[in-house]
Structure 1
């Protein structure tokens, strides 16, 4: 059964100011990489527009209204120093959410073994009422709540390997005892959250900070000693991956020194645990990654492993 790739043209309409790292070219480079012949077997689908009720699984109506009303008629508007909107941004963000919801539906229905959602803007920094860090809606957390509330799952794990702490996902799942949120990230680094003492209302959050200039060897050791055993103990019925590729050594926004093969290794190991615990059910959604060539190569490696695991 092929891996499903969810994308949408609207990702190319979400504009940020010139020089902004979260740019349209990110998706263009990913699209070019995934159009290579070795990805011909991907089941390519349009990410649908989400319903308001999807967003409201994690955000209040006031947040949805604020984002909708903030979209400018032309140009770009800054919601904070990092997070911008343009005409089309709300639509892009809604398709990113819709892609994650549809990916969960496809995987849990048996229509696909796993799926990758290649949409922007990313989502893991958006808190209940606060867009931040390039993010408007908490896509991974919404996917987890959709699986729990609408598919009746009892245990959903979210693993976030973006170089920046997923403060939004942590906040949105903090009070959700049926979820396990595990994140590795550089510390110190923006947003400054993600300390080991932040454990969630039901000990359902695990933070594993990694020091600047550490490489894939420390990452692999941390995952093997701490994160993989925690996942196996939790026995998720679905694994959601917040797939940020900005821990790559070439990325301009951080100082971890992972190689492309480190992302392939981590994906392979996570898919193996998913096979042990939940018949390989994995939904991965794009987060960060801001060196365009490193991003494209790392996403290609990630998706290649997903395809191998789905075969």
Structure 2
């Protein structure tokens, strides 16, 4: 099993200072992959800068120009959450372009699967706005690129970040070629992702939101992916699966109130990998979104890589959340989603 890793030190140059989305996330991850002797088992996929035409697949000229000019003037706060530095525009182009390199490698059969260890993240970025730590929507650009450049008709995007990918949803809300599936804490930032938000026009039914209450853990997420993602993916028959891989639903991450463990991420990725193997010859790419705990994030990415390689999961030193775990009843949510999308 060949797994590609998109990474380059250029991603460290998006300087956010003391912001939780900072370069230490990637350094800590690379260190854990090296210590686990996984890095040598991965095929390095050097990134390139996405072209303006490629970024324009998902964003307006106004938005691209704003990010460029803001960075060139020295950066600062684009909004209350999102920071840019003098190098952020170029780094964001390389983040998007790195994901495109991963798509090319997967589609050409150079690797079976790929993981894009990139930043800044992307799934909150809308066609016209940077928000939620995101400048350009890497995964949306990749999906549009795959459709246009690899002659695909159907792409599945699965998003397990704790926050709903509002930008990705908006970009594909009317597009029947892209099935967007999201599990997310609800209510939570950015406040979108209701069950009733299921697409419009020709894209009606191709947005699948699973809004989960706080304190969901491994079993609740396993059920959500088995009971909802698996049947909708089989019905959709994607030719490529892309994943917005956000690790901020780990119990130690302070940006959420979820209870997932490292092994829980392994379970989610295993289900998605099984679908890729079954439906699209294993064509699967994951791109980093959130995840801010500097111990939980690297360990969770390690588990992801181990699943992609077909290796057993390493021991998780963080283990389960402290205290007594009380299962969360998500029956009503899953029943409503299933009914909305004709699964029952």
TM-score range, shorter chain: over 0.9
Q: Distance in 2 between matches of 1:176 and 1:96?
A: 24
Looking at structure 1, the residues matched to 283 and 133 of structure 2 have their Cα atoms a distance apart, in angstroms, of: 28
What is aligned with 1:297? Answer: 299
Matching residue of 2:47: 47
Q: Give, in angstroms, the shift of residue 117 of structure 1.
A: 0.4
C-alpha distance in 2 between matches for 1:35 and 1:56: 36
Q: Confirm or deny: 8 A CA contact 2:112 2:283 kept in the other structure.
A: yes
**Which residue does 1:236 correspond to in 2?**
238
Alpha-carbon distance, 1:73 to partner: 4.7
Structure 2 length as normaliser, TM-score? 0.87
Residue in 1 aligned with 2:334? none
Q: CA deviation at 1:38?
A: 3.2
Counting only pairs closer than 5 Å after superposition, residues 48-127 of structure 1 correspond to structure 2 as 48-74=48-74, 76-127=75-126
Is the 8 Å Cα contact of residues 10 and 92 (structure 1) preserved in structure 2?
Answer: yes
Q: Matches of 1:175 and 1:35 in 2, distance apart?
A: 42
Aligned residues: 307
Any residues of structure 2 matched to 1:218-229 within 5 Å, and which?
218-229=220-231
1:259 aligned partner:
261
Matches within 5 A, 1:146-185: 146-185=145-184
SS state at 1:95 partner? helix
Structure 1 position 23 matched with structure 2 position 25: no
Do the aligned partners of 1:63 and 1:130 also contact (CA within 8 Å) in 2?
A: yes
Contact 2:45 2:101 in 1 (8 A): no
Note the alpha carbon deviations across 1:213-270, whole angstroms, 9 max, x for none.
Answer: 1211111112111111111111110000100000100001110000000101111111
Determine if the alignment matches structure 1 residue 129 to structure 2 residue 118. no
Q: Is the 8 A contact 1:39 1:304 kept in 2?
A: no
1 CA distance for matches of 2:95 and 2:50?
8
Q: Which residue of 1 aligns with 2:337?
A: none
Unaligned runs of 5+ in 1: none
Kindly indicate whether residue 280 of structure 2 is the aligned counterpart of residue 278 of structure 1.
yes
What's the offset of the Cα at 1:34?
A: 1.7
TM-score under structure 1 length normalisation: 0.96
In the other structure, the counterpart of 2:322 is: none
Name the SS of the counterpart of 2:128 in structure 1: coil
* Contact 1:72–1:85 (Cα < 8 Å) also in 2: no
CA contact 1:10–1:88 (8 Å) conserved in 2: no
Whole-angstrom CA distance in 1 between matches of 2:304 and 2:38: 13
Q: Which 4+ residue blocks in structure 1 deviate beyond 2 angstroms?
A: none
Structure whose CA Rg is larger:
2
Q: Distance in 2 between matches of 1:184 and 1:269?
A: 14
Deviates more, 1:223-232 or 1:186-195: 223-232
Tell me, what secondary structure is at the counterpart of 1:171?
Answer: helix
CA RMSD of aligned residues (A): 1.2
Confirm or deny: 8 A CA contact 1:157 1:179 kept in the other structure.
yes
Counterpart in the other structure of 2:331: none
What are structure 2's unaligned runs of at least 5 residues? 312-344
Q: Is the 8 A contact 2:46 2:101 kept in 1?
A: no
Verify: 1:6 aligned to 2:20, yes or no. no
- Secondary structure at 1:40's aligned position in 2? helix
Which whole-Å deviations, capped at 9, do the CAs of 1:16-68 have from their partners, x for residues lacking one?
A: 132x1101111111111122313311001221111111101111111111110
Residue 145 of structure 1 is matched in structure 2 by 144
| Paired residues of 2:221 and 2:268 also in contact (CA < 8 A) | no
SS of 1:219 mapped into structure 2: helix
